[in-house]
């Protein structure tokens, strides 16, 4: 039965269900329907300001209205453009390579490669100069700027870069000048009564809270006498704080030199006189301890004349006031002389100009942060003012007077403690009040950048001469000495005699010289300084002897000054390395060169002197040395010998040298160690 042909049926058409148009696509569909059918489809590369990988191929999409572009307005507002439409990159120095690459949106190795093309080799974490960063940015179509431009919200107009603020200049009118309190510094030898004298003046027991009764820090105080303010700067009298005492002399108007009537002028007193004279300030002498039976004021006045400080009652110009800090004798007269001298000096300053002050001392206080004690030189310091101090800046949060009470403002010549530093300033820095926080911060950043550049400055290339100089400096030795003497006269004579010992190869470093027996502190100082302890006419305390034995410090006692000086000279010479001296003992001329199984040997004739097997030798060719080394083989015929004299033939082999030529001269010599002498 034939197969029945399949009936032809029209395939049924299935209606697809209507799909909802996505919300984001509805505007697109409407826009497409509204446009003419011949509207072309343009390839659009989707670009986002968000940091993402770029598309490999442009996506074929219809042109979308501006309202649906995938750009977030918040991101677009952060873009800063120049007047010609170029994007701006702001990076605050120091400019690190990886930060620059992140700002440009490229891989760091691309930036490193471009830097190498500029002959700059830097890794990811190294910094580059702003000019170099500008060249790299320009290559990628960006403009580099160190300072961020100020732009309005949503407006991409570039403003001109504001020049960094200049340091304020002070112009003072004569009619603005007003009398200011004098700044007075007490100086003198330790234990001569400086702190006790100030203690009586300001009625505050400062010495009772000090370690050992010695002032260990600088403090500034103000007192009122007869309706006039007087500012006191108390500097330590101990010899270890000479640098602090010198700084005190440089910020003061009048120096009160305290001298004990029973001791007279001591070494630290001499240093104080030198600092005061170098600072060019007026000196008033207070002769303390006049109530003691051993006091001798006339002897002190005589010593003052030797230093050019002639008393007024002896026909000079120096004010000398006998006082007693314990009984309060002569204190009123001393204060009157201070006020009188301040009137003579006509100390004036303007309280209306931008304030300037000098840092006396700075420290980190728990709960307060960096604080500094200052003395105002001019102007008026007020709470809330922005300031620049060295490389630091800040805003005055609080002003504290010498009584520990907060104040709102401080005028010229007055001491005050300032809170509000962003970092710890250095003593001696000048504090300047600025117009704004921005100006102070900008100048501080510039100073810090300059300081950083100085520290990171590339060292000079080494030369052969500089290497020899550095080597000689490293090899230069010194003999460190702690010296104690019985009386001041002997000490001065010893210091002068030791100072006259001059040597090119070694230094004599007198790290400490004082009067009195050798104490345990002297031994500890010698231990820390790797020094020897020398005593002249003094004894050693039991505790010092025990400490010296424990620490291994040598103590040498002398009673004759010339013996002490000669012993120290011998010790200095003993520290020198012995000098190697060369003695030529003979010459041998190469007649023939032999190639043996043990190597190349020079057949020689000894022309003068002798050749020793233990000597060193050099090969001279046309009078120029070409090899220097030890003699490894010395033979006469087949026998090894120790010595070959003038007129005999021998075979010589020097180390591993094999390039002998007929006519060469072999010069034998010995090295002798000779003890060096001081030059």
- Interior/surface letters 385-394, b for 16+ CB within 10 angstroms, e for the rest: bbbbbbbbbb
Question: Rounded distance, CA 418 to CA 397, Å?
Answer: 8
> CA–CA separation, 148 vs 91, rounded Å?
8
Query: How confident is the model at residue 216, as a pLDDT?
Result: 40
d(CA 422, CA 334) in angstroms, rounded, equals 41
Tell me: pLDDT of 45 over 60: no
Domain assignment of residue 443, given as a range: 356-454
Q: How far apart are CA 342 and CA 255, in angstroms?
A: 12
Residue 48 has pLDDT above 60, yes or no: no
For residue 582, how far is the Cα from the chain centroid?
46
| Gap between the Cα atoms of 188 and 245, Å rounded | 10
In a domain, 46, yes or no: no
User: What is the C-alpha to C-alpha distance for residues 154 and 68, in angstroms, rounded to an integer?
Assistant: 19
3-state secondary structure (DSSP) of residue 194: helix
Which residues, at least 6 apart from 254, have a Cβ–Cβ distance to it below 8 Å?
A: 182, 183, 184, 185, 281, 282, 283, 284, 338, 341, 342, 345
Task: Based on the fold, state whether residues 384 and 260 are members of the same structural domain.
Answer: no
Confidence band (pLDDT; 50, 70, 90) for 173? low
Same domain, 480 and 586: no
201 and 298 assigned to the same domain: yes
Q: Where a domain ends, among 545, 574, 603? A: 574
Amino acid 193: pLDDT: 80
Coil vs helix vs strand at 375: strand
Are residues 337 and 366 both part of a single domain?
Answer: no
Nearest in space to 511 (alpha carbons), one of 534, 490, 493, 489: 534
Q: Per the domain annotation, does 165 fall within a domain?
A: no
CB atoms within 10 A of CB 519: 16
The tokens for 332 are 């009123």
Of the candidate ranges 137-151, 161-175, 386-400, 598-612, the one whose mean pLDDT is the lowest: 161-175
pLDDT at 665 over 70: yes
Q: Per-residue pLDDT for 152 more than 50? A: no
353, 183 contact by CB (below 8 A): no
Kindly tell me if the per-residue pLDDT of 488 is higher than 90. no
pLDDT for residue 601 is more than 80: yes
Of 62 and 240, the one with more pLDDT:
62
Q: Over the stretch 302-336, which tens digit does the pLDDT of each residue have?
A: 888 888 888 888 888 889 999 988 888 888 888 88
Same domain, 217 and 342: yes
Classify residue 23: in a domain, yes or no. Answer: no
Q: What is the pLDDT of residues 73-104, one digit of tens each?
A: 333 345 577 767 778 888 877 788 888 888 88
The closest of 378, 385, 380 to 358, measured between CA atoms, is 378
Q: Is residue 497 part of a domain?
A: yes
pLDDT over threshold 60, residue 23? no
Q: pLDDT: is 26 or 120 the higher one?
A: 120
φ/ψ of residue 225, rounded to 5: -135, 120
For residues 373 and 510, state if they share a domain.
no
Give tens-digit pLDDT for 109-131. 888 888 888 878 777 777 788 88
Query: By the 8 A CB rule, do 181 and 413 touch?
Result: yes
In a domain? residue 44 = no
Give percent of the chain above pLDDT 90.
11
- CB of 356 within 8 A of CB of 170? yes
As a whole-number percent, the residues of the chain with pLDDT over 70 amount to 73
Q: How far apart are CA 467 and CA 599, in angstroms?
A: 39
With respect to residue 274, please indicate whether it lies within any of the assigned structural domains.
yes
164 part of a folded domain: no
pLDDT over 70 at 265, yes or no:
yes
pLDDT computed for residue 604 by the predictor = 93
251-274 burial code (b ≥16 CB/10 A, e <16): bbbbbbbbbbbbbbbbbbbebbbe
pLDDT class for 151, splitting at 50, 70, 90?
very low
Mean pLDDT confidence for 25-52: 44
CB 402 within 8 A of CB 221: yes
> Is it the case that residue 668 has pLDDT exceeding 50?
yes
User: Can you give the pLDDT at residue 508?
Assistant: 82
Q: What is the DSSP string of 205-245?
A: --GGGSGGG---S-EEEEEEETTEEEEEEE---SGGGHHHH
Domain boundary among 574, 594, 614: 574
| Same domain assignment for residues 483 and 562 | yes
pLDDT by residue (tens digit) across 503-559? Answer: 766 778 888 888 788 988 888 888 877 888 999 888 898 988 988 888 888 888 988
Number of domains in the chain: 5
Look at residues 395, 422, 454 and tell me which one is the last residue of a structural domain.
454
Q: How confident is the model at residue 13 (pLDDT cuts 50, 70, 90)?
A: very low
- pLDDT for 276 equals 77
DSSP type of residue 36 = -
> What confidence category does residue 285 fall into, taking pLDDT thresholds of 50, 70 and 90?
very high
Give the per-residue pLDDT at 469.
52
One domain for residues 364 and 330 = no
């Amino acid at each position: 039965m034939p197969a029945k042909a399949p009936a032809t049926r029209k395939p049924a058409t299935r209606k697809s269900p209507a799909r909802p148009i996505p919300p984001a696509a509805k505007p697109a569909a409407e826009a497409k329907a509204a446009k003419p059918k011949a509207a072309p489809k343009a390839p659009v590369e989707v670009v986002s300001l968000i940091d993402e990988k770029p598309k490999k191929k442009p996506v074929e999409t219809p042109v979308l209205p501006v309202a649906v572009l995938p750009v977030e307005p918040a991101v677009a507002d952060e873009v800063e453009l120049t007047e010609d439409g170029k994007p701006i990159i702001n990076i605050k120095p120091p400019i690190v390579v990886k930060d620059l690459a992140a700002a440009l949106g490229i891989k760091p190795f691309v930036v490193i490669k471009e830097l190498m093309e500029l002959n700059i080799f830097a890794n990811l974490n190294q910094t580059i100069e702003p000019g170099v960063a500008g060249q790299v940015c320009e290559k990628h179509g960006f403009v580099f700027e160190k300072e961020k431009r100020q732009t309005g919200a949503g407006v991409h107009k570039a403003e001109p870069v504001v020049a960094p603020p200049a340091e304020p200049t002070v112009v003072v009118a004569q009619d603005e000048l007003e009398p200011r309190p004098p700044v007075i510094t007490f100086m003198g030898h330790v234990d001569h009564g400086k702190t006790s004298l100030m203690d009586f003046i300001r009625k505050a027991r400062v010495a009772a809270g000090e370690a050992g009764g010695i002032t260990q820090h600088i403090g500034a105080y103000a007192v009122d006498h007869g309706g006039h303010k007087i500012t006191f700067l108390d500097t330590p009298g101990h010899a270890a704080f000479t640098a602090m005492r010198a700084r005190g002399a440089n910020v003061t108007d009048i120096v009160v030199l305290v001298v004990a009537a029973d001791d007279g002028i001591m070494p630290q007193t001499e240093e104080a006189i030198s600092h005061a004279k170098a600072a060019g300030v007026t000196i008033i002498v207070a002769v303390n301890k006049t109530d003691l039976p051993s006091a001798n004021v006339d002897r002190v006045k005589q010593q003052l004349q030797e230093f050019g400080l002639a008393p007024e009652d002896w026909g000079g110009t120096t004010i000398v006031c006998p006082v007693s800090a314990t009984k309060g004798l002569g204190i009123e007269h001393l204060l009157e002389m201070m006020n009188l001298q301040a009137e003579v000096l006509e100390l004036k300053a303007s309280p209306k100009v931008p304030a300037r002050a000098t840092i006396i001392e700075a420290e980190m206080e728990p709960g307060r942060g960096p604080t500094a004690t200052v003395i105002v030189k001019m102007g008026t310091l007020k709470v809330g003012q922005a300031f620049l101090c060295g490389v630091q800046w800040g805003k005055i949060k609080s002003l504290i007077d010498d009584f520990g009470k907060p104040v709102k403002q401080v005028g010229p010549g007055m001491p005050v403690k300032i809170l509000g530093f962003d970092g710890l300033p250095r003593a001696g820095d000048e504090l300047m009040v600025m117009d704004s926080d921005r100006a102070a911060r900008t100048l501080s950043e510039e100073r810090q950048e300059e300081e950083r550049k100085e520290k990171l400055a590339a060292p000079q290339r080494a030369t052969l001469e500089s290497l020899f100089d550095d080597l000689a400096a490293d090899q230069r030795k010194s003999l460190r000495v702690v010296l104690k003497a019985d009386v001041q006269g002997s000490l001065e004579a010893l210091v002068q005699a030791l100072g006259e010992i001059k040597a090119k190869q070694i230094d004599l470093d007198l790290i400490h010289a004082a009067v009195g027996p050798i104490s345990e502190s002297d031994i500890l100082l010698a231990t820390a300084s790797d020094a020897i302890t020398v005593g002249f006419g003094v004894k050693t305390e039991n505790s010092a002897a025990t400490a010296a034995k424990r620490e291994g410090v040598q103590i040498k006692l002398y009673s004759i000054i010339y013996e002490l000086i000669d012993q120290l000279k011998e010790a200095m010479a003993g520290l020198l390395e012995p000098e190697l001296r060369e003695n030529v003992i003979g010459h041998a001329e190469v007649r023939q060169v032999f190639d043996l199984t043990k190597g190349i040997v020079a057949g020689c004739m000894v022309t003068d002197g002798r050749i020793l097997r233990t000597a060193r030798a050099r090969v001279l060719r046309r009078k120029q040395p070409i090899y220097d080394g030890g003699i490894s083989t010395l033979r006469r015929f087949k026998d090894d010998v120790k010595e070959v004299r003038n007129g005999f033939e021998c075979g010589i082999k020097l180390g591993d040298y094999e390039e002998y030529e007929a006519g060469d001269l072999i010069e034998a010599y010995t090295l002798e160690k000779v003890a060096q002498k001081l030059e």
